[in-house]
Chains A and B, each alone.
Chain A
Amino acid sequence: MTQLSPPATTASPAPDRPAARTRTRRGRADRKPRVLVAVTALFFALLYLPIAVVTLFSFNSQKSLTVFSGFSLRWYRAFAHDDVLISSLGTSLRISLVATAGSIVLGVALALGLVRSRTRLGSLAGLIMLVPLITPEIVTGVASMLLFKGLGVTLSTGTVMVSEITFSISYVTVILRSRVAALNPEVEEAAMDLGATRWQAVRLVTLPALLPAVLASAVLIFALVFDDFVLAYFTTGVDPQPLSVRIYSAIRFGVQPTINAVGTLMLAGSIGLIALALFIPRLFGRRGGLDILSGS
């Protein structure tokens, strides 16, 4: 807290009173807002305690989910030897990679198209593109499943990938659209002026300018798809199942501490991704990775 300094130059006698009043107001503001502290603490407790418990019990030496009886990596070992969970992890990683790649390619193309199209159809497409963001995921999930069934497509890892791509394009587009709109159209023209074809101009100039936002949204999409449950649940085949669906089925038959280990590993992975997302913009010499994540 800085001290109140008396008015330096004015010799008027008036400032005494207002200064005093300011001091009382300051005093009130100086008091610690205990209620706010409590609410904040409660908020963080509710948010992170369950995760802390999962992490803690993933290292439990016994099977109990209530009594911590000693540190061990037993459940991590169990996970490593659980072929079903491992194959589900592989499936989830595959789905995430394909969905990320697919939705990035389509989403970037859509963002470029939406920003540059001046037709009414273009603005209509821009609005429709937002619908998946506000549709309850369960509706999307059930609808996707019914669509696949109606078309006679057997549900499989492939159908999960298609649904996840469809769902993720909106996110990519929303993040990238503002970036594309902020690009100077003269830069692409300059590339063409210097001998590039339209496609070369996009590839050599526009895409590199979008790269930080593209990478950040890729990380985001990867994380979203990897732990997505609802969409995966409705569109997956029987075998192999994505990890989230597998964990859900496992929990229905009693909670295994192995799941805690899986959860902790996923948590570590997510933190790693977020760190990556924050670090990517630094690579491009810009500060403030979070604003890229939020797309502004």
Chain B
Amino acid sequence: MDETHAVRLTGVSKRFADTYAVRDLNLDIEAGLFFSLLGPSGCGKTTSLRMIGGFTDPTEGSVLLAGEDVTALPPNKRNVNTVFQSYALFDHLSIADNVAFGLKRKGVEKAEIRRRVGEMLELVQLDGFAGRKPRTLSGGQRQRVALARALVNRPAVLLLDEPLAALDLKLRRQMQVELKQIQREVGITFVFVTHDQDEALTMSDRICVMNEGRVEQCGTPEDVYEHPASRFVASFMGTSNLMTGTYRGGEVTLDQGPALPVGPRAAIADGTPVSVSLRPEKVWLSDFEPGMSVLRGVIRDTVYSGPTTTYLIELAPGVTLSVLEQNTARARMEDRWSGGETVEFGWRPEHCLVLA
């Protein structure tokens, strides 16, 4: 038994009628990490979370918490707590009673409950709201109550089901930072479900990208972004120029277009059809370095968005590349390239990734 794994799913599947929501899922979540399950809606991430929490029974496989098999245990017998997407606060109870709910069920002493509830409300910056009812709070405040209500029980693992989805963008950004801070402070393993790749990238220690009930890739945010393991991950994590072609000796000849030198990749036979991914921000438009691949293309469109400008460059008929440039050097409109101009653009070969 491996005690460093807070959560371990082995061969877990969930079937509803005749469709699999989750298929043969194997996950090892190390203790103390901020772990994100990321994927589009319907990818099985929430179902996976519910199976860890005990709200959904797996059709196959087992769920282990700290090495102990809990597959057959109901939610109230598991040392995990959940922050629900709807917050699911108890409207008839005060904020303090909401937070105290779990401790009361455990039979913790009254004085101890009062102390811990007070501490927790302070942690989520809601001291002074103890006597209020949930209905009188704003969305962000309710979110914090849900967090406090779960954390006060000091669970081994905290499950969060898209907790920020209902907040507006600005509040969401703020809560992302706060959640991460709180996680570091309490040191509890967070399992965070989200469909927002920005959110996953900024908050997580590990990200597990899911698609159609399966894991596509698990790794650090950098791993997953810089070295996507599949076409799906490359396109789901941020934007990517995805092109198809044929691999031949360190180059990929595009189906319609030139050959691109690509980064090293183990064991691909010459003549294999592959996808290549090149991130828009990895492409340079000037000041090329030695060793870069440089090509020429025609600018078809420019999209200015404040700090950056996106150029759409056609490198061969029908093949366009989106290129992102910081507006560091060019501040005025006339200094930027405009449509129809022919430009040179280049990239480091290792940034042009071959995806099977």
Q: Decide if A and B are genuine partners.
A: yes
Q: Which 10 A-B pairs have the closest CB atoms?
A: A195-B105, A194-B102, A186-B88, A190-B88, A208-B92, A192-B75, A186-B84, A187-B88, A193-B82, A195-B76
A184 and B86 contacting across the interface, CB-CB below 8 Å: yes
Q: Are B81 and A193 in contact (CB under 8 A)?
A: yes
Known: A194-B102, A200-B105. A189 touches B75 (CB 8 A): yes
Does B304 belong to the interface (CB within 8 Å)? no
State whether A196 touches B76 (Cβ < 8 A).
Answer: yes
A123 at interface, CB cutoff 8 A: no
Which residue of chain B has its CB nearest to the CB of A189?
B55
CA distance A205 to B105 in the complex (A): 13
Among A190, A197, A204, A205, the most chain B Cβ lie within 10 Å of the Cβ of A190
User: What CA separation (Å) do A77 and B76 show in the bound complex?
Assistant: 61
Residues of A within 8 A of B84 (CB): 186, 189-190
The CA of A225 and the CA of B82, in the complex, are separated in Å by 45
User: By CB atoms of chain A within 10 A, which of B92, B135, B149 has the most?
Assistant: B92
Give 19 new A-B contacts, CB below 8 A, not counting A186-B88, A205-B90.
A184-B88, A186-B85, A187-B89, A187-B90, A189-B84, A189-B88, A190-B82, A190-B90, A191-B90, A191-B101, A193-B76, A193-B80, A194-B102, A195-B105, A195-B106, A195-B153, A208-B90, A208-B92, A284-B92
Evaluate contact between B74 and A192: CB separation under 8 angstroms: yes
Tell me the chain B residues, 236-257 only, with Cβ under 8 Å from chain A.
none
Query: Tally of A-B residue pairs with Cβ under 8 A?
Result: 66
Are A193 and B75 interface neighbours, CB within 8 A?
yes
Asked if B91 is an interface residue, CB under 8 A from chain A, the answer is: yes
For residue B99, give the distance in angstroms from its CB to the closest CB of chain A. Answer: 10
- In whole angstroms, how far apart are the Cα atoms of A198 and B124 in the complex? 29
Which B residue's beta carbon lies closest to that of A201?
A: B76
Do A194 and B101 have beta carbons less than 8 Å apart? yes
With the chains together, A226 CA to B120 CA distance in Å? Answer: 51
A139 on the interface (CB 8 Å rule)? no
Q: In chain A between 193 and 251, which residues have their CB closer than 8 angstroms to a CB of chain B?
A: 193-198, 200, 204-205, 208-209, 211
Q: Nearest residue in A to B74 (C-beta to C-beta)?
A: A192
Q: Whole-angstrom distance from the CB of A283 to the nearest CB of chain B?
A: 12
Most interface-central of B53, B84, B89 (chain A CB within 10 A): B84
Which residues of A lie under 8 Å from residue B74 when comparing CB positions?
192, 197-198
Complex CA gap A186/B153 in Å reads: 18
Residues of B within 8 A of A195 (CB): 76, 102, 105-106, 153
Of the candidates B92, B135, B153, which one forms a contact with A194 in the assembled complex, judged by CB atoms under 8 Å apart?
B153
Taking the closest CB of chain B, its distance from the CB of A196, in whole angstroms, is: 6
Interface residues of B in 95-109 (CB under 8 A from A): 101-102, 105-106
| Interface 0/1 of B61-88, CB less than 8 Å to A | 0000000000000111000111011101
Question: With A and B bound together, what is the CA distance between A284 and B91 in angstroms?
Answer: 11
Evaluate whether A209 and B91 lie within 8 angstroms (CB atoms) in the complex, with A194-B105, A195-B105, A195-B106 already known.
yes
Of the listed residues A192, A196, A197, the one surrounded by the most CB atoms of chain B closer than 10 A to its CB is A192
Residues in B136-173 with C-beta less than 8 Å from chain A: 149-150, 153
Could you tell me if B92 and A209 are in contact, using CB atoms closer than 8 angstroms?
yes
Interface size class of A (residues with CB under 8 A): 20 to 34
**Chain B: minimal CB distance from A282 (Å):** 15
Cβ contacts under 8 Å, A200 to chain B: 105
**Chain A neighbourhood of B85, CB < 8 A:** 186
Closest-CB distance, A79 to chain B (whole angstroms): 42
Among B76, B86, B91, B93, contact of A192 (Cβ-Cβ < 8 Å): B76
Residues of A within 8 A of B150 (CB): 193-194
Provide the bound-state CA to CA distance between A200 and B88, in Å. Answer: 16
Distance in angstroms from B54 CB to nearest chain A CB is 8
In chain A, what residue has the closest Cβ to B149? A194
Give complex CA distance A110, B82 in Å.
Answer: 29
Shortest Cβ distance from residue B331 to the other chain A in the assembled complex, whole angstroms? 41
**Could you say which residues of chain A place their CB within 8 Å of the CB of B55?**
189, 192-193
Task: From A186, A197, A285, give the contact of B76 (CB < 8 A).
Answer: A197
User: Given A186, A204, A284, A285, which contacts B86 in the complex, CB threshold below 8 Å?
Assistant: A186
B contact residues around A196 at 8 Å (CB): 76, 101, 105
Q: In whole angstroms, what is the CA distance A8 to B129 when docked?
A: 49
Residues of A contacting B92 in the complex (Cβ-Cβ under 8 angstroms): 208-209, 211, 284
Contacting residues of chain A (147-190) with chain B, CB-CB under 8 angstroms: 184, 186-187, 189-190
Measured CA separation A193–B87 after assembly (Å): 12
Q: In the complex, A104 Cα to B81 Cα: how many Å?
A: 34
- B166 to chain A minimum Cβ distance, whole angstroms, is 13
- Min Cβ gap A189→B in Å is 5
A266 to chain B, nearest CB (A): 34
Q: How far is the CB of B84 from chain A (nearest CB, A)?
A: 4
Tell me the bound Cα distance from A257 to B162 in angstroms.
70
Interface centre among B55, B101, B149, B150 (most CB of A within 10 A): B101
Write out the residue numbers on chain B whose beta carbons fall within 8 Å of the beta carbon of A192. 55, 74-76
The minimal Cβ–Cβ distance linking B222 to chain A, given in whole angstroms, is: 33
Quick check: B53 and A193 within 8 Å, CB to CB? yes
Complex interface: chain B residues within 8 A of A285 (CB): 133, 135
Chain B residues in 8 Å Cβ range of A197: 74, 76
- Given the complex of chains A and B, what is the CA–CA distance between A192 and B76 in angstroms? 5
A39 to B342, CA, bound (A): 84
